[in-house]
Amino acid sequence: MGFYKYYIVLNAMKSKADKFNLRLKMVQYAITAGVKPAARAFATTPKTVRKWLTRYKQEKLAGLNELPRIPLNCPHKTSAVMEKQVVNLRKLYPFKGAKRLKREHNLPCSHQAIGRILKEHALVRKIRKKHKRKKDLAKIKAKWPLFSQITTDTKDLKDIPHYWPQMKSLGLPKYQFTAREVRSGLQFLGYAKEKTAVNSCTFVRIICQHLKNCGVDMCKLRFQTDNGSEFIGCFRDDKTRDGFEKTVGGFGSDHKRIPSGAWSYNSDVETVHSTIELEFFDLENFENVRDFHQRTASYQAYYNIVRENSNKGFKSPWQIIKEIEPQMDIELVRLPPIMLDWVGPDYITRDELDLRGYDVPWFPSIIINFDANYSLS
């Protein structure tokens, strides 16, 4: 007979059937060899063997099942009336937890008792983890019409360690302007040495004109931005906005600003900023501004046409666009990055020049008289 460590084996067993069979073997061994030999063989106490042997003699096989450990009488148990009240309140206010139900409805039982009642009646909502909620949101956005929203933001390039020395020595742009179409992930980039309202207006005007030329219905398009001064401009006397909002409005599109501090609203474009820093700015070495423009153009073409996005079914933006709008020309995704310092002031209308923020000049590089040795880098 092998040597059994009764309690070790019992605790390792998860199935009630396995525990029942172990007790049956121990009882059968006790009937054959005696209580103490069975206790030695199964590495337990004679008291334990006698307990199960007595139950077996009184109730046969049924006596080897575990008995419920709940008390036969619980004087502090919540009454059926109170339990029904808790259930009804939870169904009426599904957003209230146990502590809030007790506090706001003056329930006499503890919040632990309320939580137990909610759990017993399957009224506890399981909170989904953040990555699962993001997947749910991605599924919702996957059903949006194409070119219904473009999220726009700026990225500060001065805090990228690999890029910063090149920016200083070569006079490269300090800011990236990004516009990303939410449904497909298509992105347009712009670069400048200054983060101004004029640059943002120039950037979005060129994009709007490009999309219009490619057959996009601009009246169904909405541009979403944060509340940066480069996007919100200032109020006119008639309470209307100027600058960015006026520019997109000229093409029939709307401008939506996210709530203050709600950075997650712009997650679509913030994700691109993280990606381009890891895949491009942390790796590339530039020779001059022209080389910078050529390399950013290559990366943007790669991102829009070739690069597969795992969050969008491992498809590139161009693949998604072709699936939804097969007649769309590939020129749509070929707009190169816009070097806003090269565009010049003539691209902005006089009306837009009159509209500026509190401390953002129209054209800082032009208004200030720079000497020959001054550099914006």
Instruction: Tell me, yes or no, whether 232 and 144 share the same domain.
Output: yes
Note the pLDDT of residue 370: 30
pLDDT value of position 79: 86
Per-residue model confidence as pLDDT tens digits over 86-105: 999 999 998 888 999 999 99
* Domain tally, the chain: 3
pLDDT digits (tens, 9 = 90+) for 325-347: 999 999 999 999 999 988 755 45
Domain assignment present for 323: yes
| Pair 336, 227 in one domain | yes
pTM: 0.62
Kindly state whether residues 183 and 36 are assigned to the same domain. Answer: no
Q: Which of 16-25, 212-221, 318-327 has the lowest mean pLDDT?
A: 16-25
Q: What is the strand order of the sheet 149-156 is part of?
A: 254-257, 222-225, 149-156, 175-181, 187-192, 338-339
CA distance from start to end of the chain: 87
Is 215 in the same domain as 116? no
Q: Does some domain include residue 372?
A: no
Same domain, 10 and 148: no
Whether residue 211 has pLDDT greater than 80: yes
The answer to the question of residue 362 being in a domain is: yes
Identify which has the larger pLDDT, 53 or 311: 53
Q: Is residue 308 part of a domain?
A: yes
Residue 377 lies in a domain: no
Enumerate the H helices of the chain as residue ranges: 6-12, 16-33, 35-41, 46-59, 80-92, 98-105, 111-120, 130-141, 164-170, 197-213, 229-232, 244-249, 267-276, 289-301, 317-324, 340-343, 350-353, 364-367
Domain span holding position 30: 6-64
Highest mean pLDDT among 16-30, 95-109, 205-219: 205-219
What mean pLDDT value characterizes the chain? 83
